[in-house]
Structures are given as structure tokens and as C-alpha cells.
Homo-oligomer: A and B are copies of this chain.
Amino acid sequence: MKKMPNIIDVAKRAGVAPITVSRVINKSGYASEATRKKVEEAIAELGYVQNSLARGLRIKRTNTLALVVTDITNPFFTLIARGVEDAASKAGYTVIYCNTDESEEKEISYSNILVQKQVDGVLLVPACSSPQSVRFLGQNNIPVVLIDRRVPDIHTDVVRCDSEEGAYNLVKLVIELGHRNIVTISGPQGVSTSDDRVAGYQRAMKEAGLGDNLNVLYGSFTQACGYDLANQALALNPRPTALFGTNNFLSIGIMKALRDAGMRVPEDITVIGFDDLPETMVVDPILTVAAQPAYKMGVLAAELLLKRLSEKMLPENQEIILPTEIIERQSSGPPLG
């Protein structure tokens, strides 16, 4: 475990002052061609690598972002992560990632760590509607861009999709196919994506005069929950002719429940969902969905954050709202009878 060379070692070897080495490395300030060459040789000979901890301590920037999602394992967030990393690395930034599992406690704990690590900015999929972690980061001068979900009473940048509109269009499509008894299988209340998608469902139903048929089953954004709630929905009387899963895991849980119940889709029942699965993972996608441009969301969010880091005076409170794309596939069809 030999000591690594530092900027002073390089300076000595090159016969210059440390600050000169610094100027050469960071291409800041002047340096004659001859000096630059001497320094670069010394660096190569010693195998010197700049210590960015020391640098960060001094200049108060780390070129590090953090991405906090609920679960990187959800392909929607995986794609966001990839978009974030691509945009960040292109700009010379590195990304720390964190999974909160929808737990506010973990989110707060990570916020603390990220302040300690002096990250330059945070991309956050908020686990809940509490503003605590966003505020905490703000108090420590760390800008935050929210992804996917809003948080009430907080002003930060947000990059998300129009969940209300997406759900509305999706449900409207199914209503136009003739369905009147549509049950929504939703994530938790209080999470904006859940609430917005339920709201879109309600608007479409009411608009079609189906306000009396509203039925929302709340749970969590998991496959297991989709499975259970679908079974619950099937036990209803009258039995719904269509089910709406408000995220990808829920939809897959629903599909599995239907399969296990021996029901064919869409012959026996129609299923629609939010979020598409990446085409790289599915041979024959059958689900009719409102698809979100996840990769693009990641890129845009990272770029917005980086812009806020470089330009001091962006207008406050940018909210980028992207449309969802309705993709009609085989899982939706006219109701039985």
C-alpha cells in the first residue's frame, strides 16, 4: 500500500509549483507549451491521478449527482436511470443511486448521506408526499429535480408524464369499445401518480355517464398486490368486464391472476395498464397501455438539473410534463355478450 503521488510530487518532478500543475490539469489559467509538456511527462512518469476529494473540498463541487428511485428493478426506473447516467456522464458527472422501496424513512436517511457526500444535485422519485427530504436538501443548497411524481406544497423542478391525461385516454378507449363496468387497480393513495391516474379514470367514466360505476381498489405498486386485487375484483358482482392496472407491476399481477383464474384476455376480460415494458424484454407484448418515455424522462431531468447547476438564474419551478403514448394491443377488446 504505497503512497500515491500528489500534486506536490508532480510539481517537484516537473520543476514547477503545485499551482502550475493544477493549471495544466484543469486547463485553467495560462501555461506555456514547454511547461505543459514537462508537467504532463511528470504526471505520466509518476502515474499521478488527481484526488477529487481534495479538489471538491476546495472548489465546493463534486461533479456527482444522485438518483433516488423507489426500486431500480422496475424497468420504468431502470430506463430512467440509464437516461440519467447517459446525460450525466456526457457532462462529466458521475451518479450515485439509491433505492427507497417507497419508504420515507429510507428517503430521509439517503438525503442525509447525500448532503454529507456533497453531491451537486439530486434526482428524486419521491417515496411519499412529505416535503421533508426535498426541503432538507434545499436547506443544504442542493438542487432537486423530482421525477415521475409531484410533491404538494414544494417548489422544485419536476419532470413527469401527464398521468391524468394518459389514464383518461386509456379508459376512454375502453369505454368506446363498449365497457361500462371498469375497475381500477391502483397504487397507494397519496402518491401523485396513483392519484392522477385514478383521477383520469374518474373523469373518463363520469364523462361517459358512468359515474355510478366507479370502483377503485387501492394497494401498493407491486405484482403481488395486482394479483390479490384482481382476484378481489373478479369476485365482485357484477363482475367487471375490464381491469385497469395503474402501473406495470400491477398489470402483470393482474394478468397472472386472470391466467390462474382460467380467464382469457381479451375474450373473457379486457386489461389495460400504465407503463410499457421495454421491447427488449418481451417477445409478444399484448397489453394495451399508456406508455411513458422513461429514458427520455431521465435524460431531460438530468439535463434540467445540470442546467440549474451551471446557470444561477433559471426561472423558478420548471415543470416538464410529457405526454404518454396510448398503445393499443390485444389485451383490450369489446366486452362479452
Residues of A within 8 A of B (CB): 1-2, 4, 47, 49-54, 56-57, 62, 64, 71-73, 75, 78-79, 81-82, 85-86, 89, 94-99, 112-113, 115-118, 139-141, 223, 248-249, 252, 255-256, 259, 277-284
Are A53 and B118 in contact, with the CB atoms below 8 A? yes
Are B97 and A97 in contact, with the CB atoms below 8 A? yes
| Closest-CB distance, A170 to chain B (whole angstroms) | 19
Are B98 and A85 in contact, with the CB atoms below 8 A? yes
Contact of A117 among B53, B115, B248, B277 (CB under 8 A): B53
Across the two chains, which residue of chain B brings its CB closest to A287?
B283
| Closest-CB distance, A162 to chain B (whole angstroms) | 25
Are B51 and A116 in contact, with the CB atoms below 8 A? yes
Cα distance, A4 to B280, chains bound together (Å): 46
Are A139 and B85 in contact, with the CB atoms below 8 A? no
Q: Which residues of B contact A279 (CB under 8 A)?
A: 223
Q: Which residues of B contact A117 (CB under 8 A)?
A: 52-53, 64, 94
Q: Which residues of B contact A78 (CB under 8 A)?
A: 72-73, 75, 78
Are B94 and A95 in contact, with the CB atoms below 8 A? no
Q: Which residues of B contact A116 (CB under 8 A)?
A: 49-52
Contact of A96 among B4, B94, B249, B278 (CB under 8 A): B94
Are A252 and B280 in contact, with the CB atoms below 8 A? yes
Are B73 and A94 in contact, with the CB atoms below 8 A? no
Q: Which residues of B contact A52 (CB under 8 A)?
A: 116-118
Contact of A252 among B95, B115, B141, B281 (CB under 8 A): B281
Contact A47 B139, CB 8 Å, known A116-B52, A249-B280: yes
Are B283 and A277 in contact, with the CB atoms below 8 A? no
Q: Which residues of B contact A1 (CB under 8 A)?
A: 141
14 more contacts with CB within 8 A, not counting A72-B78, A78-B78, are A2-B141, A49-B112, A50-B116, A51-B118, A53-B118, A71-B82, A89-B98, A95-B96, A96-B96, A97-B97, A256-B283, A281-B281, A281-B282, A282-B282
| Closest-CB distance, A121 to chain B (whole angstroms) | 14
Q: Which residues of B contact A284 (CB under 8 A)?
A: 259
Cα distance, A62 to B51, chains bound together (Å): 12
Q: Which residues of B contact A248 (CB under 8 A)?
A: 281
| Closest-CB distance, A146 to chain B (whole angstroms) | 21
Q: Which residues of B contact A115 (CB under 8 A)?
A: 49
Are A62 and B53 in contact, with the CB atoms below 8 A? yes
CB-based closest 4 A-B pairs: A255-B283, A52-B116, A53-B57, A49-B115
Across the two chains, which residue of chain B brings its CB closest to A277?
B281
